[in-house]
């Protein structure tokens, strides 16, 4: 089973700043099978990125995904007030979906 490790655990930033979130896989994975989600308190996760770099429908272009092999990144170019939330990466492989433990982006 592939383990996804997200860092940092918490990211303290101000609106307008750039956020860079990391997701590292325990072994090399296909970038096609890497996705990112945003979760706000009391809500279900929302799909942001699939295939490592494709934005889901309706997701603003300030969100971007990149990476390959074992290292993947979610970048929020300029944080808006509504972007402060928890972000999870997710991988599919060997008929199993796994999630990272999450990165909280909080207001500094």
Residues forming the site for other proteins (CB under 8 A): 32-35, 37, 43-47, 50-52, 54, 56, 86, 88, 90, 92, 95-99, 101-102
Report the 10 Å Cβ neighbour count for 36. 28
Nearer to other proteins, 14 or 57 (CB): 57
Look-up of token digits 């995904």: 65
Half-sphere exposure of 102 (CA within 13 A, CB side): 12
Report the nearest approach of other proteins to the CB of residue 59 (Å).
11
Report the nearest approach of other proteins to the CB of residue 81 (Å).
22
């Amino acid at each position: 089973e592939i383990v996804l490790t997200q860092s940092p655990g918490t990211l303290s930033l101000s609106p307008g700043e750039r956020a860079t979130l990391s997701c590292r896989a325990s072994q090399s994975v296909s970038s096609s099978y890497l996705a990112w989600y945003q979760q706000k308190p009391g809500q279900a996760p929302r799909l942001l990125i699939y295939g490592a770099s494709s934005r889901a429908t309706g997701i603003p272009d300030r969100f971007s995904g990149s990476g390959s092999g074992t290292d993947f990144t979610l970048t929020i170019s300029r944080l808006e007030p509504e972007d402060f939330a928890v972000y999870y990466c997710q991988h599919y492989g060997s008929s199993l979906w796994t999630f990272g433990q999450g990165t909280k982006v909080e207001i500094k």
